[in-house]
Structure 1
Amino acid sequence: MPNVNYINHLNAVLDQFSKDDRLNPTHISMYMALFNYWNFLHFPETFHVNREEIMKLSKIGSKATYHRVIKALGYYNYIVYMPSKNPFKGSKVKLFNFGTTLKQDKVQYNSINSTTIKQALVSKNKHIKTLKNNINEGQTSIPNSEKEVIKFFKNNDATTHEAQKFYNHYMATGWKFPNHTKIENWKALAKKWILKSQDFKTHENSPQQSQNRDNLNTTDYLHTNRNKNYNQPL
């Protein structure tokens, strides 16, 4: 059982978070959930993780996001993730002690049983490829931020205003369709939104619509050529 100083560890890992541009709030939320679980178990060398419990603690609602983020934390060397093929045993996790020196961390990492490492890590190239596929798959579900949506809209010749409308609309729905099913590919949905907005603008700017607006603006509804007998009851 490692000797973990709660305060020193948190100070050190939060400092590392601030320097790591690869992380987003979901990564940090996941790590804090794992750390809380680790603390609850009195800091064992490794421990089994309950996916439902970690998702609840980290406020992650998607299984795909859960797997993508926990694998990313392993790839970024914040944890060692040891997935299990046995659903009854569950996956295991090892957290490094950030309250110690980097040298001590490396000693801890190298001291893990070789069998455990084989379970946790596949070949380097395959690991990187799998991680990239998972990240790309996760990114299609919901965007990480409004900036990501704006950038996508600009790359597709759409305005920032349309991007903000799209983002705010689906943020309000919890990234779900009207039938409450989760959106699985926000980029495809965004392209559909962009096409509809462009079609609407084309329709609005058509000669027929312009003529209709001109007629509406020039028509004087206060004057009429019809003769009406106002003595007749309504």
Structure 2
Amino acid sequence: MSNMNYIKHLTGFFDKVINDHTLNPTNISLYITLFQFWNCNRFRNPISISRDEVMRISKISSKATYHKCLKNLHALGYLRYEPSYNPYKGSVVFMFNFSENLKPKKKSYNKQVKDKQQTSNPPTNEQAEVSYINNTNSTNNINKLKEEEQSQNSDLENLEEVSKQKKLRQKNKNNECHLEQGREISNKIPKVDEVIKYFQEQNFPEIEANKFYNYFSSNGWLVGGKTPMKNWKAAAKNWMLNSLKYNKNNNNSKTLIQPKNLNTAIDKDYSEPL
């Protein structure tokens, strides 16, 4: 922006701030930070901003306060804010030139003479009139600081409440998942008579059926100790196959490790030397 006057713009901005009683120090700090970004961009619009960078420079620690102040500046006509909901693209801000709104104050000749005469008069006991900036009511400043502090505390309380609600919803969701898993397991648990009947149909002894039922009853009918059993008959099939392999291996090991008996003849002559 070639016709941008740095000093006139800030003067016009503070003239606007003086008459605006809705702004607080945080709003002004945020605007000055954005003005510096605009300055670095050679006063060209728009400027792309990063929330974390702007919060760090303007000394705003709460994201809720940052968004609130930025929207407030936009609503009051200090700038135009176009948020970006794309994580790979920053938000955009258009800054307005306040130097054009600054009108110089004209002094008449009589006014200048009167001011000169008043300056040359000796000082009196009356208090001199201060500028409108220094004449701000201190009580109003204290109230504004209290309002800002209350606003920040309210933002923190809202964030804590949102965090608590989120944790509570996650806890309820986990409980519902556990209950659902429990219902699935309870609906698929067979009775011992059903297991025995199924093993007998597969020509397996009743003792294997009892082993199968007792084993999975002790671990909550979980396959591998983790996954709920979906089909107990399929698990029983695997049990039978593993049982056959186990018995086969045991029979082979007994055949291989049979002790050899000492072979002796009845008519052995013990008088012969060995």
Pick the TM interval, shorter chain.
0.3 to 0.5
* Greater C-alpha radius of gyration: 2
Q: TM-score, normalised by structure 1?
A: 0.45
